[in-house]
DNA sequence: CGTGACGTTGAAGAAGGTCAACCAATGTGG
DNA sequence: CCACATTGGTTGACCTTCTTCAACGTCACG
């Protein structure tokens, strides 16, 4: 493994330790996982539907979508993954994948062999626990998406999505003048919100005219955070991005994991 | 614990061992978990939003919905839980709940203290693994629901939901003459599919006139399974209900868990 | 300087929502 | 045993939101 790869897995460790308590040894065990860097061009599937893959993927750069599909071939993005996410962590405990992964922008991913992930999860129960916890945050996001597409109108849906991504990117100081890279096309936004790209276009225009957010090409510029939160009915709790150190969980004993 | 309670936790163990390999000792450890039976009347929340609860709940009888909500108070069911499910298993690794649980019909639940669940998961890594895996099946269902409400029309949505429940109830021999208890009102179906109860009513009528399924009060009668599957664009893979014994997973070593 | 991807806009139409009425079944108190 | 209320299902008329289709603009890139 190159130093470059090691550095990138550190991003994934940081993600985990934001919510879980891991010893230095455990953290090191994750950083030391074997991995292989790959570049994926935009709109390319790198895990296809029902594929039995041998690797899980950490996103280093770019945005990745998890896709479901109806029988007309219309796709629905069920989750967006950004840098630091392990896009298919659940495959550690599941053999069959149930959805495709596609790079939405040119992305850099790290492929980590399942066999290595399973070994480290088996050896260090606290790592398995941290993986599980991270999967549960993803499930919470999924749950919010069901509410989003099921019970919110177009404007609210898109505002909610933008709020979610703003918090996940953590590139907002507190309230205003927020700006982040979000290289999705309006077609991608449509697939994520269950709308058509035409209606996404009109809705973005409406949000722009409301003066709350401006989306242009690859950048989202939030002009009125409070307004966007209100329109999007957004409450960041479910993202668990700001778990205080004292509230980070560990159910397995420290002594035991350290001894392993 | 009464024998009655023990018997009910066995249903949960059966659910787990359908996908995961657990030793006799591990299974016994789950069966021996302390628990408390409770009856919940229909339409009563028994875990409210953002509640910090000390218990997880196994459903023994009835149907339970996990709810999200928009700012108008319109509710969206994000998951349905039936007998054998642990409705909030994820709370083992998460302190804060993110959604409410409501009994949709009169239900019997078993409350199992978090502290006991965490202890057993910490002591037996294979149990933690089985819990994690079960959570991932729930997440797969959630993922399908996003596709369902996002990219399918009313008829397809409802047909898909009915297919899913038929498989989860496993009360279908193979193809036809299928009948199962499903004590939801049309209002509940509306909350689950992101429609209004009026439109659910019309859609059920259309499905009835197509001769594929007949829903009456508390019973679903599937007249044409293949037809319903076609209309619902249903593929049961994601439910992982029929995992062959040889394909059931265990990543932690057997020896180690047995020695614990 | 053509070609393709993406964004923008208008006009027409369909899917589903809203409102309102009514019915059947069930339960409850007098 | 009946008046009455409640809950859930059914139906019609009308309206809103979003989709569909189609055209055109613009920018990047070979």
> What is d(CA A63, CA A220) in angstroms, rounded to the nearest whole number?
14
Average pLDDT, chain A: 89
Chain C positions with any atom < 7 A from a protein CB: 5-11, 15-20
Q: Is the pLDDT of residue A17 over 90?
A: yes
Q: Residue A7 — pLDDT band, cuts 50, 70, 90?
A: low
Residue B155: pLDDT above 80?
yes
Are A56 and A88 in contact by the 8 Å Cβ rule? The answer is yes
Average pLDDT over residues A7-19: 89
Residue pairs spanning A and B at CB distance below 8 A: 159
Structure tokens at B129: 């693994």
Whole-angstrom distance, CA of residue A235 vs CA of residue A212: 17
- Confidence band for A151, pLDDT divided at 50, 70 and 90: very high
Confidence of residue A73 (pLDDT cuts 50, 70, 90): confident
- B220: confidence class by pLDDT, cuts 50, 70, 90: very high
- Which pLDDT score, from 0 to 100, does residue B171 have? 53
CA A244, A250, A255, A259 dihedral sign is negative
Token pair, residue B135, equals 């959570």
Mean pLDDT of chain B: 89
What's the burial of B187, exposed, middle or buried (CB within 10 Å: 0-12/13-18/19+)? middle
Using a cut of 0.75, tell me whether the model's pTM lies above it: yes
pLDDT band for position A204 (cuts 50, 70, 90): very high
Q: List pLDDT tens digits, range B85-101.
A: 999 999 999 988 778 99
CA distances to A93, A243, B82, B183 from B219, in Å: 35, 45, 15, 7
pLDDT of residue A216: 85
pLDDT band per the 50, 70, 90 thresholds, residue B70: confident
State residue B107's pLDDT score: 94
Average pLDDT over residues A226-254: 90
pLDDT by residue (tens digit) across A158-202?
A: 999 999 999 998 754 444 458 888 999 999 999 999 999 999 999
pLDDT band of B74, cuts 50, 70, 90: confident
> A160 vs A164, A198, A240, CA distance in Å?
6, 19, 16
Q: Which of A69-73, A117-121, A249-253, B253-257 has the highest mean pLDDT?
A: A117-121
Q: What span, in angstroms and rounded, lies between the C-alpha atoms of B226 and B114?
A: 42
Whether the predicted pLDDT of A72 surpasses 90:
no
pLDDT > 70 in chain B, percent: 92
Statement: residue B31 has pLDDT above 50: yes
The full length of chain B comes to: 260
Q: Is the pLDDT of residue A219 over 50?
A: yes
The structure tokens listed for B244 are: 């062959």
CA of B197 to C1' of D7 (A): 14
Strand D-proximal protein residues, Cβ less than 7 Å: A 153-155, 194-196, 198-199, 202; B 42-43, 185-187, 197-198, 201-202, 204-205, 217
Cα–Cα dist A43/A65, whole Å: 9
Decide: residue A185, CB within 10 A, 0-12 exposed, 13-18 middle, 19+ buried: middle
Which one of A125, A152, A237 has the shortest CB-CB distance to B70?
A152
Interface probe with B: pick from A129, A136, A137, most Cβ of B within 10 Å = A136
Quote the pLDDT of residue A134.
96
Banded pLDDT at A241 (limits 50, 70, 90): confident
- Per cent of chain B over pLDDT 90 is 73
Q: What is the pLDDT of residue B73?
A: 77
Cα torsion angle, A153, A156, A162, A165, sign? negative
Q: What is the pLDDT of residue B173?
A: 46
Residue of B nearest to A92 (CA): B251
* B93 token code pair: 């690794």
Residue pair B226/B212 in contact (Cβ under 8 Å)? The answer is no
State whether the beta carbon of B219 lies below 7 angstroms from any atom of strand C.
no
Q: How far apart are CA A195 and CA A74, in angstroms?
A: 11
pLDDT tens digits, A94-144:
988 778 999 999 999 999 999 999 999 999 999 999 999 999 999 999 999
Mark residues 152-211 of chain B whose C-beta is closer than 7 A to nucleic acid strand C.
153-155, 194-196, 198-199
Per residue in A79-88, pLDDT (tens digit) is 999 999 999 9
């Amino acid at each position: 493994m190159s130093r470059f790869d090691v550095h990138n897995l550190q991003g994934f460790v940081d993600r985990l330790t934001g919510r879980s308590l891991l010893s230095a040894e455990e953290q090191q065990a994750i950083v030391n996982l074997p991995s292989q860097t790959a570049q994926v061009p935009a709109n390319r599937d790198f895990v296809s539907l029902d594929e039995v893959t041998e690797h899980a993927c950490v996103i280093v750069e770019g945005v990745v979508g998890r896709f479901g599909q109806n029988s007309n071939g219309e796709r629905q993005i069920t989750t967006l993954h950004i840098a630091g996410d392990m896009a298919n962590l659940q495959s550690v405990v599941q053999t069959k994948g149930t959805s495709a992964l596609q790079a939405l922008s040119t992305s850099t991913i790290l492929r980590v062999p399942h066999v290595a992930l399973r070994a480290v999860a088996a050896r260090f129960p606290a790592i398995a626990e941290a993986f599980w916890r991270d999967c549960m945050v993803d499930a919470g996001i999924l749950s919010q998406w069901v509410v989003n597409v099921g019970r919110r109108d177009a404007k609210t849906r898109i505002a909610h999505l933008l709020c979610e991504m703003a918090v996940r990117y953590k590139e907002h100081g507190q309230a205003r003048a927020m700006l982040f890279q979000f290289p999705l096309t309006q077609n991608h936004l449509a697939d994520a919100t269950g709308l058509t790209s035409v209606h996404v276009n009109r809705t973005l225009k409406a949000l722009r005219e409301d003066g709350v957010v401006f989306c242009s090409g690859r950048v989202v510029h939030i002009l009125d955070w409070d307004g966007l939160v209100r329109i999007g009915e957004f409450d960041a709790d479910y993202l668990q991005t700001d778990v205080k150190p004292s509230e980070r969980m560990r159910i397995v004993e420290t002594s035991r994991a350290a001894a392993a």
